[in-house]
Amino acid sequence: MDTQLFEAHLQVERKQITFDLRENLRGTFLRITEEVSGRRNSIIIPTTGLELFRDSLNEVITFTQTPVGSRTVLPLGQRNAETPSPLTVQQM
C-alpha cells in the first residue's frame, strides 16, 4: 500500500496535471499524472532520479526559450553541443 506524502495540481490548457509524492515498501517516488477528457496517463520517477529529471526538464525549458534561428539540434543521445568523441571499437 502506498502512503501519500505530498500532492500538487496544475491546469495547463485542457490538461489537469497531478504531482503525487508517495512511498511504499520499495521506496519513495513521484507519480506525474495527466488527465484530459477522462483519460489518464502517468509516469513514475523514483526519488533517486528526481534531480536528473529536473535537470533534463530545465534543458527542455531553456531550449524552448531559445530563438528558433539560433537553436542547435543535437543528435539523439548527445547532451551538449561539444563534438562527440569517436567510438572505441573493440576487436575480438
The stretch 75-88 carries a mean pLDDT of: 56
What residues does each domain of the chain span? 3-65
CATH class of 3-65: alpha beta
3-state SS, residue 9: strand
Q: List Cβ neighbours of 43 (8 Å cut-off, separation of 6 or more).
A: 31, 32
pTM of the model: 0.71
Q: List Cβ neighbours of 33 (8 Å cut-off, separation of 6 or more).
A: 17, 18, 20, 40, 41, 42
pLDDT in the model for residue 91: 45
pLDDT in the model for residue 39: 97
